[in-house]
Amino acid sequence: MANLSLCWFIMSLSSALFISYFCVDQAIIGTKSLIAAGVLFLYSLYYMKFRRFFYAYIPENPGTQFRGKMIPAHPNGWFVVSTTEELKPMYVKAVNQSGHNIVLFRGEDGIAYALDAFCPHSGANLGVGGAVKHMSCVQCPFHGWLFDGKTGNLVAGNTLTPRKVEFYTYNEKVGTCKLDPQEILTKTGEGLVNLRKYLLKEQNGYIYAWLHADPKAKPNYEPLDFSDVEKRLVYKGVSLNKIFSHCQDVPENGGDIRHFIYVHSYLLPFTTLLGAKWDAKWCRGDDPELKQKMKHKIPWVDDHKQKLLDKYLTKENSSSIGIMSLDMCSVIGGLAPKFFFNATVFQVGPGLVYLFLISPYYEVLFFQHTTSKGKFEHDVFHELYASWYLPHWITALILRLEAMQVTNDTYVWNKKMFATDPMYATDGEADMTILTWRRWFGQFYEGCAKREQDRDKLTW
């Protein structure tokens, strides 16, 4: 992307210079052409800046602070680990996502592979300096051990023959008493080596990894395939919000229908002139009354919504999906609220959110995915696809304003404790919706507490 922008910049600048210094001096063209060249140059700058807009909001890390009792830090599910564009053939990438350290690479065969990142020889991260060899293998940058992406096996040479090694482990008493040198590292066995292999799915220009505490657990849902949306909407850019909070705080926003009034009342920075009136509903995807509960009073909105529900919800995936319907009416000055858009939001597992937004004026898809780098550090991305006729500056503004709304949430999230023992008011549906949401989301933590305890504990 940066190269493309640079290319545009150099091309437009050089053409403008060429026209002004040569053609005008030679009296080949006149002032009008010079103005045209200037306009072309300015348009190129605008095009570079806004065509695939990127906006990042990175607040200060609040550092160590009281967070309260904690549920596991990382849930199970599908997560975006790369874009197709980034993972070019032979490219090797270190992924740190939701408590899983992975080496992600694309083999010479064009297939993406993902293995446990740490080399069992001496602990190097295969994603940092590792190289693709023999079609589907990654070579460790430290002493050259070779792992086959197809199987995870430690292999030898281009025959990919599994290699046998001896296993050693530190004695648990090291550091507590004096030991014979032979006892410090003792042999525990010998045999073949196999790294955990992660299931990947490449779709719509993204690479998803199935990350589960149990390596044998199979997915019970899939990321949504929005190929048909890509036929009518154009990719317009991405925003990044850095969050320092428990990762659940981000999707819990969907089930927290009351916070919109307090956190998202105004749409523009520094002014209350343009306000928003929200109406939100949230339901489990497998709620038998879902379609009725999601019914919209405007027929064309309802038609669009019901088609989305029919298309994406299946018997197999519905228990892993949460559905939100969100109406936004704009409030300008003291005027009556005017319907601006409705969003049908699919929360697909803990890590993916597809927000289908329609308005009388345009259509948008926000695809939200999160990179959880640590217990309290997450990068939340919103990828924007919009109607082709929207000018680049408008879509850039949409991205910017949407990121601003997330920033309003971030202001609260980054300083909050995790509410492990929440209190809910029963007079009204808002808190009951959060309760339903939390009960739904709890399914994604199966086995996570044990994995995190085992992973974090020092054994010697």
Give the whole-angstrom CA distance, residue 185 versus residue 162: 25
Size of the site for ligand FES (CB under 6 A): 10
Site residues for Fe ion, 247-286, by CB under 5 A, read: 253
Find the part of the chain contacting Fe ion (CB under 5 A) among 8-16, 182-190, 272-280, 407-415: 407-415
* Phi, psi of 395, rounded to the nearest 5 degrees: -70, -35
Q: Which of the listed partners (ligand FES, Fe ion, none) does 346 bind, with a CB threshold of 5 to 8 Å by partner kind?
A: none
| Closest distance to ligand FES from the beta carbon of 97 (Å) | 21
Amino acid, single-letter form, for residue 362: Y
| Closest distance to ligand FES from the beta carbon of 119 (Å) | 3
Binding mask 302-331 for ligand FES (x = CB under 6 A): ------------------------------
Site residues for ligand FES, 126-145, by CB under 6 A, read: 140, 142-145
Give the whole-angstrom CA distance, residue 103 versus residue 124: 11
Q: Are strands 53-57 and 233-243 parallel, antiparallel or unpaired?
A: parallel
Give the whole-angstrom CA distance, residue 125 versus residue 116: 9
Give the whole-angstrom CA distance, residue 48 versus residue 391: 13
Q: Can you tell me which of 20, 29, 111, 121 binds ligand FES, judged by CB under 6 A?
A: 121
The residues near 7 (Cβ < 8 Å, ≥ 6 apart) are none
Q: Can you tell me which of 122, 186, 272, 314 binds ligand FES, judged by CB under 6 A?
A: 122
Q: Can you tell me which of 37, 115, 119, 353 binds ligand FES, judged by CB under 6 A?
A: 119
- 7 or 128, CB closer to ligand FES? 128
Q: Does 124 bind ligand FES (CB under 6 A)?
A: yes
The residues near 17 (Cβ < 8 Å, ≥ 6 apart) are none
Burial of 187 (0-12, 13-18, 19+ CB in 10 A): exposed
**Sheet hosting strand 274-284, strand order edge to edge:** 53-57, 233-243, 377-387, 363-374, 352-358, 338-348, 321-332, 274-284
Tally DSSP H helices, then E strands, for the chain: 11, 21
| Closest distance to ligand FES from the beta carbon of 69 (Å) | 38
- 144 or 175, CB closer to ligand FES? 144
H-assigned helices in 249-321: 249-255, 259-263, 290-293, 299-312
Q: Which of the listed partners (Fe ion, ligand FES, none) does 122 bind, with a CB threshold of 5 to 8 Å by partner kind?
A: ligand FES
Give the whole-angstrom CA distance, residue 108 versus residue 119: 21
Amino acid, single-letter form, for residue 299: P
| Closest distance to ligand FES from the beta carbon of 118 (Å) | 8
The region, left, alpha or beta by phi > 0 then psi within -120 to 50, assigned to residue 134 is left
Site residues for ligand FES, 138-177, by CB under 6 A, read: 140, 142-145
- 138 or 365, CB closer to ligand FES? 138
Q: Which of the listed partners (ligand FES, Fe ion, none) does 124 bind, with a CB threshold of 5 to 8 Å by partner kind?
A: ligand FES
Give the whole-angstrom CA distance, residue 286 versus residue 243: 30
Q: Which of the listed partners (Fe ion, ligand FES, none) does 145 bind, with a CB threshold of 5 to 8 Å by partner kind?
A: ligand FES
Binding mask 361-400 for ligand FES (x = CB under 6 A): ----------------------------------------
Q: Which of the listed partners (Fe ion, ligand FES, none) does 253 bind, with a CB threshold of 5 to 8 Å by partner kind?
A: Fe ion
Which residues here bind ligand FES, judged by CB under 6 A?
119, 121-124, 140, 142-145
Which residues here bind Fe ion, judged by CB under 5 A?
253, 409
